[in-house]
Amino acid sequence: MTNPTSAVNPSDESIAALRARPDDDPIVMVNLLKYAEPGGRERYARYGAVAGREISARGGRVLYSGASLAGDDWDGVALVYYPRRAAWLDMQDNPAYQAAISDRTAGLSARLLYAFAHGTGPVPVTPPSLEDVQRTSDEEVFVVNLLRYHGDEGRASFFRYGEVAARLVHDLGGKVEMSLVADQAMVSDDEWEHFVLVRYPSLDALRSMLASDAWQAANTAYREPGMAGTIAFPTR
């Protein structure tokens, strides 16, 4: 497991910390999911049916969800928009939602839940607006990137990598779909600073970029020295 978590549900302390933060802008809850076996997907789907109704009732929506293409670490990701922190917090107190939490608990063996806000990330592009991610073909893949740096110098180094990577992604016909700044850890054993979701036209296009001399050079010179930690995997 890339980022093992000691729980699948937010602690009282993390909920209180989110409640204490200023509530002046939308948030996106980044959910990384690992299903329990056997039967975890079915139990989580039962929770998801209830959660979907409660999220929608508060003006929220799923911006993107996808299954991991990377093997055993994580099974999937869901990026859920809430118009204010208060919308997510109100849902936690709803009896119907509370009754579904047992299905979520039984359905997951690991989870990362982190609140992010819209903002400038480590890639030199204007942060895209928080819109639903629209798929345009069955071949497309969307790479999840959670990022943490070695201080200010590491952040600057990674930004130089981002300049190269942004050009390579553009040349492939891809784009940055989402750029988010960390707000509050809810279920995570690590701190994270940025979240970036990147669209690629295909898995082969992603692989060709990673194999290119330009990417390899930027990775060695800037990305690896700059990062203190990352979770990155392709989804569809």
| Other beta carbons within 10 Å of 222 | 21
Residue 5, domain member (yes or no): no
pLDDT tens-digit readout, 105-146 = 999 999 999 999 999 888 888 888 999 999 999 999 999 999
Task: pLDDT band for 57, please (50, 70, 90 cuts).
Answer: very high
How much is the average pLDDT of 212-227?
98
Name, in order, each residue with C-beta under 8 angstroms of 135's C-beta and a sequence gap of 6 or more: none
Number of domains in the chain: 2
Note whether 128 and 103 are same-domain residues: no
The whole domain housing 174 covers: 120-235
- d(Cα 206, Cα 199) in Å, to the nearest integer? 9
Most distant pair of Cα atoms in the chain: their distance: 55
Final residue in a domain of this structure, among 117, 150, 175: 117
Note whether 88 and 143 are same-domain residues: no
Q: Which two tokens stand for residue 204?
A: 């082969």
Note whether 165 and 211 are same-domain residues: yes
How much is the average pLDDT of 58-78?
95
User: Which one-letter amino acid corresponds to residue 56?
Assistant: S
- d(Cα 133, Cα 152) in Å, to the nearest integer? 31
Task: Tell me how far CA of residue 56 lies from CA of 49, 105, 114, in angstroms.
Answer: 11, 22, 19
- What pLDDT is recorded for position 5? 57
Note whether 126 and 104 are same-domain residues: no
Residue 138, domain member (yes or no): yes
Residue 80, domain member (yes or no): yes
Question: 145 has which bridge partners?
Answer: 196, 232
Q: What is the CATH number of the domain that holds 192?
A: 3.30.70.100
Note whether 113 and 145 are same-domain residues: no
- Of 206, 211, 198, nearest to 121 by C-alpha is 198
pLDDT tens-digit readout, 150-185 = 999 999 999 999 999 999 999 999 999 999 999 999
Note whether 23 and 61 are same-domain residues: yes
Look-up of token digits 């740096």: 149
Question: 231 has which bridge partners?
Answer: 146
* Model pTM score: 0.95
Contact yes or no for 145/200 (Cβ under 8 A): no
